[in-house]
Amino acid sequence: MAGKSDSQLFQNKYDRERKKIDEKLSRLLKNHKPKSLYEPCEYIISNGGKRLRPLLVLFSAEAVGGKFSQAYNAAVGVELLHNFTLVHDDIMDNSDLRRGRITLHKKYNVNTAILAGDNLIGIAYNSLLKDSKTNCVQIVSSFTNAIIEVCEGQSYDTDFELKKSVTVEDYLLMINKKTAVLLERCCEIGGLIGGGSKNDVIALKKYGHNIGMAFQFQDDLLDIMGNQEKFGKPIGADLVEGKKTFLFLRALEKAKGKDKSNLTAVIKNKGVEKDQIDYFRKMYIKLGVLEEAKDEIDRYTKLALKSISSLENKSSVKLFEWLANYLIKRSY
Amino acid sequence: MAGKSDSQLFQNKYDRERKKIDEKLSRLLKNHKPKSLYEPCEYIISNGGKRLRPLLVLFSAEAVGGKFSQAYNAAVGVELLHNFTLVHDDIMDNSDLRRGRITLHKKYNVNTAILAGDNLIGIAYNSLLKDSKTNCVQIVSSFTNAIIEVCEGQSYDTDFELKKSVTVEDYLLMINKKTAVLLERCCEIGGLIGGGSKNDVIALKKYGHNIGMAFQFQDDLLDIMGNQEKFGKPIGADLVEGKKTFLFLRALEKAKGKDKSNLTAVIKNKGVEKDQIDYFRKMYIKLGVLEEAKDEIDRYTKLALKSISSLENKSSVKLFEWLANYLIKRSY
C-alpha cells in the first residue's frame, strides 16, 4: 500500500493532470461554428467531473513505459465519449440535474441535446485519432466497442425497469456494460498507446473492469447511505425511481413475509414515496445487503489490485493502488 | 457518355452490389442482444434505401484499382452511419414517415430511437475498421469528419428555421454539410481503401461533393414538382413546413410587391396551408427559380463529371457518368 507521502504525491499528480485535461477540453471547442451546436457541447464538458477516465488513459500509458504527452488526446477523447453518454442518458432518464447543474436537454431542449451528444462522439474520435498513429485499428476498435457496450448496457437498464424478474446476474451484466466496460477500455487504450505488452494490457484492462464494478456497487450503496451534499443527488433516489439495484435485488432474494411483499410492491408501484425510504434502508440493514455490497466493493477492489500487481513498473502499481482507494474513500 | 448497353451493364452492376449490401446489412445485426436494442436497429436498416453511399465506396475503390472485396465492410459502415443520421433527424424533425414506413421513434419510442442511433454509430465504426488495415488514421478521420459535419449541418438547418434572414450562401453551406459531405467522404474512403493516389482521391471527393449538391437541389425541386408516389412524401411539404430551401430563398431574393410580402408571410407564419401550395408553385415558375434550380443541378452534375474525367480507369469514369445521370433521371 502507498504511504502517506506517496498518497500526497499521487493526489498532486492526479490534480495536476486533471487540471490539464480540463484545460485541453475547454480549448478544444473554442471558435467552432455553429454556436447553437458548440455552446451546448462546451456546457456539458465544463461540468467539473472527476476526469477519472482520461486519468486512467494517462496512468495506463505511463505504467507500460509511455509518456503522458503521447496520450493526452486519447484521454480527452474518452472523456468526450463519456460526456456523450451522460447527455443522452439524461434525456432518456428525463433527469433535471447532473452534478448539481441543470441537464443539457433541460437548459436547451431535447433536439439540441441529441445533436450535441452525437457531435461529441465525432469530436471524441477525432481527438483519439491524434494519438493512434500506431496500433490505430486496435485503439479505435477498443473505443468503438465501448460505445456499443454502453448502448447495450443502457438498453438492458431500460428493459429491467419493465421486467418483473431481474436477477443479480442480469444486474451484473448490465453494470459491466454500462459502467465497467468504459473504464476497462480507458486502461486498454492507454496501455496500447504506451506500447504495452499483451500481458500488461490485459492486466490494465482487468484493473479497469474491477474498479468499474467496485465503483458501481459503491454508487448503489451511496444512494441509500451517502451524504446528499457530497453525493450530489437526493438520498434514496434509486428507491423512489424503483431502480433494480444490487441492494434491491439481493433484498428481494433474501426477504421473507412482509418484507418480501413490500419489496414486490415497489416493483408493482414503480418506486416508493420519499417517506418510505427510511423503512427500506432499515430493511436493507436487517437483511445484511448493505454489508454484502461493501463486501463486493472490497472484493472487486482486491481483484483490481491483484490484476495490476504483475506490472513491472512498481511506481505505477502504487499509483493504481492509491487510485483504487481514492475512488472508494467516500464515507458510507 | 455511356451507351445504351453500357447503361444496362452499369444498372445491373448497381443492382447486384446493392443487393449484396442489403444482404450484408441484414446479416450484420442477427443474434445480437438485447433484442430491445438490435430489433430497432434492424428495422431502420431494412428500409430499402438506394444504398447510394455504400455503392460510392465500392465504385471509388474500384476506380483506383482496388477490389470490391476490400471495401464491403467500409461500404456497410457508411450506410450504417447514414442510417444513424436518419433516425436522429427523424426524431428532431418529429417525422412520422420515412420511405413510406413509420419512423423508428414512432414505431418504438424516442428513447429507443436515440439509443439505436447511437449504437449504429458504434457498429458503423466496427464495420469500417475491418477494411482499414492500411491508412487507418486517414480512413477513420474521413468517416469521423462526416459525423461532425452532418451534426453541424443539422444544427444550421435548425438555426435557419428561427432565423429571419437566411441567404442562399447560408443555404449552400448547410446542404454541403448535411448532404454533400457524406457522399464526398464515401468517395474518399473508397479511394483510400483502393490505394488511390492523392490526386485520384481528390478527384473522387470532388465527384462526391458535386453529385451531393446536385442531389440536394433535385430534392428541393422534387418537393414542389415531383410525383408524390415516386418521391415518397407529400408534394409541397417543404412549403407547408416553412423550410428555407433554395427555391424559397431565391424566390424571396427575386420577388417584388405582393409576391414578396406573401413569401415574407411564410416565414412569419412558419409555413403555408396545403391549399396555398399551388399558388407558390406558380409564383416559383413565374420568378424562374425552378429553372434556376435545374440549372444548378446541371452545373453541379457537370462539375462532378469534370472532376472524375482525370481518372485513368476510363471504365470507371463511364460508370460514374452513368451514376450521376441515374441519380438525376427522376422526372420533374
> What residue type is B315 in one-letter code?
S
Is the ipTM, as predicted for this complex, more than 0.90?
Answer: yes
pLDDT computed for residue B47 by the predictor = 87
Residues of chain A found within 8 Å of residue B34, distances taken between Cβ atoms: 152, 155-156, 159
Q: How many domains does chain B have?
A: 1
Question: Rounded to a whole number, what is the distance in Å from the CA of B219 to chain A's nearest CA?
Answer: 23
Question: Considering CB atoms only, which of A125, A148, A159 is closest to B119?
Answer: A148
pLDDT computed for residue B5 by the predictor = 87
The verdict on a CB contact (< 8 Å) between A33 and B92 is: no
- B212's CB contacts (< 8 A; 6+ apart) are B176, B179, B180, B181, B182, B183, B184
pLDDT computed for residue A226 by the predictor = 75
Asked which of A221-235, A287-301, B10-24 is least confident by mean pLDDT, the reply is A221-235
> Number of Cβ pairs closer than 8 Å across A and B?
123
DSSP assignments along A111-177, one per residue: HHHHHHHHHHHHHHHHHHHHT-SSSHHHHHHHHHHHHHHHHHHHHHHHHHHH-S---HHHHHHHHII
Residues of chain A found within 8 Å of residue B136, distances taken between Cβ atoms: 132, 136-137, 140
Is a pLDDT exceeding 70 seen at residue A330? no
Q: At CA A278, angle to CA A286 and CA A249, rounded to 5?
A: 55
Is a pLDDT exceeding 80 seen at residue B36? yes
Residues of chain A found within 8 Å of residue B159, distances taken between Cβ atoms: 34, 36
Residue A46 buriedness (CB in 10 A; 0-12 / 13-18 / 19+): middle
* Reported confidence tier of residue A234, pLDDT bands at 50, 70, 90: confident
**Average of pLDDT values for B118-146?**
98
The predicted model scores a pTM of 0.96
Is a pLDDT exceeding 90 seen at residue A21? yes
Is a pLDDT exceeding 80 seen at residue B218? yes
d(CA B297, CA B328): 8
Question: Rounded to a whole number, what is the distance in Å from the CA of B105 to chain A's nearest CA?
Answer: 13
Q: What is the pLDDT of residues B237-281, one digit of tens each?
A: 899 999 999 999 999 999 999 999 999 999 999 999 999 999 999
The verdict on a CB contact (< 8 Å) between A121 and B119 is: no
pLDDT computed for residue A332 by the predictor = 47
DSSP H helical segments within A163-288, as ranges?
A: 168-175, 181-193, 198-225, 228-231, 237-240, 246-254, 257-269, 277-287
Q: What is the pLDDT of residues A249-276, one digit of tens each?
A: 999 999 999 999 999 999 999 999 999 9
User: Is residue A332 included in any domain, yes or no?
Assistant: no
Residue B77 buriedness (CB in 10 A; 0-12 / 13-18 / 19+): buried
Smallest Cα–Cα separation from A91: which of B197, B322, B92? B92
Average pLDDT, chain A: 94
User: Is residue B275 included in any domain, yes or no?
Assistant: no
Question: Considering CB atoms only, which of B84, B122, B151 is closest to A37?
Answer: B151
User: Is residue B260 included in any domain, yes or no?
Assistant: no
Smallest Cα–Cα separation from B62: which of B226, B183, B182, B200? B200
Q: Range of A115's domain? A: 4-213+305-327
The verdict on a CB contact (< 8 Å) between A129 and B140 is: yes
User: Is residue A269 included in any domain, yes or no?
Assistant: no
User: Is residue B246 included in any domain, yes or no?
Assistant: no
**Average of pLDDT values for B41-51?**
94
pLDDT computed for residue A2 by the predictor = 55
Residues of chain B found within 8 Å of residue A147, distances taken between Cβ atoms: 118-119, 121-122, 125
User: Is residue A61 included in any domain, yes or no?
Assistant: yes
**Average of pLDDT values for B207-225?**
94
pLDDT computed for residue A162 by the predictor = 87
Share of chain B above pLDDT 70, in %: 95
Helix (H) / strand (E) containing A18 = helix A4-28
User: Is residue A204 included in any domain, yes or no?
Assistant: yes
Q: Which residue has the higher pLDDT, A40 or A227?
A: A40
* Reported confidence tier of residue A5, pLDDT bands at 50, 70, 90: confident
Which residue of A82, A155, A185 to mutate against B (max B Cβ within 10 Å)? Answer: A155
Smallest Cα–Cα separation from A312: which of A145, A74, A141, A64? A64
DSSP A64: T
Residue A174 buriedness (CB in 10 A; 0-12 / 13-18 / 19+): buried
User: Is residue B121 included in any domain, yes or no?
Assistant: yes
pLDDT computed for residue B230 by the predictor = 63
d(CA B161, CA B327): 28
A contact set with B (CB within 8 A): 33-34, 36-37, 84, 88, 91-92, 110-112, 114-115, 117-119, 121-123, 125-126, 129, 132-133, 136-137, 140-141, 144-145, 147-148, 151-152, 154-156, 158-159
d(CA A181, CA A81): 13
DSSP assignments along B202-225, one per residue: HHHHHHHHHHHHHHHHHHHHHHHH
Is a pLDDT exceeding 50 seen at residue A16? yes
* Reported confidence tier of residue B48, pLDDT bands at 50, 70, 90: confident
- CA closest to A131 among chain B residues: B137
Cross-strand partners of A97 = A102
Q: What is the pLDDT of residues A157-209, one digit of tens each?
A: 999 988 888 999 999 999 999 999 999 999 999 999 999 999 999 999 999 99
* Reported confidence tier of residue A245, pLDDT bands at 50, 70, 90: very high
Helix, strand or coil for residue A310?
coil
- Centroid of chain to Cα B170: 18
Residues of chain A found within 8 Å of residue B125, distances taken between Cβ atoms: 125, 140, 144, 147
pLDDT computed for residue B141 by the predictor = 98
Torsion of CA B74, B79, B82, B83, to 10 degrees: -130
Q: Over the range B208-240, which residues count as b (16 or more CB within 10 Å of their CB) and which as e? A: bbbbbbbbbbbbbbbbbbbeeeebebebbbbbb
Asked which of A112-116, A294-298, B44-48, B170-174 is least confident by mean pLDDT, the reply is B44-48
Residues of chain B found within 8 Å of residue A125, distances taken between Cβ atoms: 125, 140, 144, 147
Is a pLDDT exceeding 80 seen at residue B11? yes
pLDDT computed for residue A229 by the predictor = 62
| CATH code of the domain covering residue A30 | 1.10.600.10
Q: What is the pLDDT of residues B274-331, one digit of tens each?
A: 999 999 999 999 999 999 999 999 999 999 999 999 999 999 999 999 999 999 875 4
